[in-house]
């Protein structure tokens, strides 16, 4: 989970970097320089090594499965997962993708329309490719990662009636948990979007 969160927030940092790269403000555009990117990655490594420490304290693996101890922590962990995995990265990706799209429209509106038809077409194609990449990242994130905290909250909220669940329901919940937890998380980590370097003049 620690590695998964690190990858998620590195992708969020990539969305912020693309917004900064498209900005007309020189001070904002300076954030997209390579040495700043390395600095941000190092900060994320430190932050996402410290934040998940509570997992090592409150999770127990004595039965062969990771379970939250005490039980009250399971609800906190479900809310923590919903915010840190579900809501916060998605909101940041959408906001900075929309800001990047707005900056691209502003750049395109200032391109001289006469005598530069080929250059204009190249810029428009590059803009479309960038927006496809941003939109694809958000879509893949929603499909592969958002179900995990939703399933976790469902499991915690129905744990009090676990003894009354039918074997079929338990089997379905187990299958869904298997799909949304390891399988989809690994799919997201492997299905990243990479493209050419975009330079905006």
pLDDT digits (tens, 9 = 90+) for 102-144: 887 777 666 555 545 545 555 566 666 767 777 777 788 888 8
Number of domains in the chain: 1
> Residue 79 falls within a domain, yes or no?
yes
Give the angle 194-38-129 at the CA atoms, nearest 5°: 20
Confidence (pLDDT) at 122: 57
- CATH code for the domain of 17: 1.20.1070.10
How many CB atoms are closer than 10 A to CB 189? 16
- 18 against 96, higher pLDDT: 96
In a domain, 101, yes or no: yes
What is the extent of the structural domain holding 179?
A: 2-190
What does the pLDDT look like over 140-163, one tens digit per residue?
A: 888 888 888 888 888 888 887 878
pTM of the predicted protein model: 0.72
Strand pairing category for 67-68 and 59-60: antiparallel
Q: Is residue 71 part of a domain?
A: yes
- How confident is the prediction for the chain on average, in pLDDT? 76
pLDDT of residue 43: 92
């Amino acid at each position: 989970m620690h590695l998964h969160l690190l990858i998620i927030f590195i992708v969020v940092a990539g969305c912020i970097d693309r917004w900064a790269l498209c900005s007309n403000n020189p001070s904002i555009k300076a954030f997209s320089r390579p040495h700043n990117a390395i600095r941000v990655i190092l900060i994320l490594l430190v932050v996402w090594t410290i934040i998940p420490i509570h997992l090592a304290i409150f999770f127990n693996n004595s039965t062969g499965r990771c379970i939250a101890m005490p039980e009250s922590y399971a609800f906190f962990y479900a809310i923590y997962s919903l915010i840190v995995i579900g809501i916060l990265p998605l909101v940041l990706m959408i906001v900075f993708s929309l800001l990047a799209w707005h900056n691209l429209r502003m750049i395109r509106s200032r391109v001289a329309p006469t005598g530069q038809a080929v250059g204009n077409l190249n810029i428009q194609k590059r803009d479309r490719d960038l927006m496809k990449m941003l939109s694809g990242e958000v879509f893949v994130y929603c499909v592969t990662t958002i179900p995990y905290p939703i399933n976790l909250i469902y499991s915690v909220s129905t744990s009090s009636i676990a003894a009354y669940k039918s074997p079929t329901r338990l089997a379905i919940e187990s299958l869904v948990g298997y799909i949304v937890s390891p399988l989809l998380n690994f799919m997201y980590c492997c299905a990243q979007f990479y493209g050419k370097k975009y330079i905006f003049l």
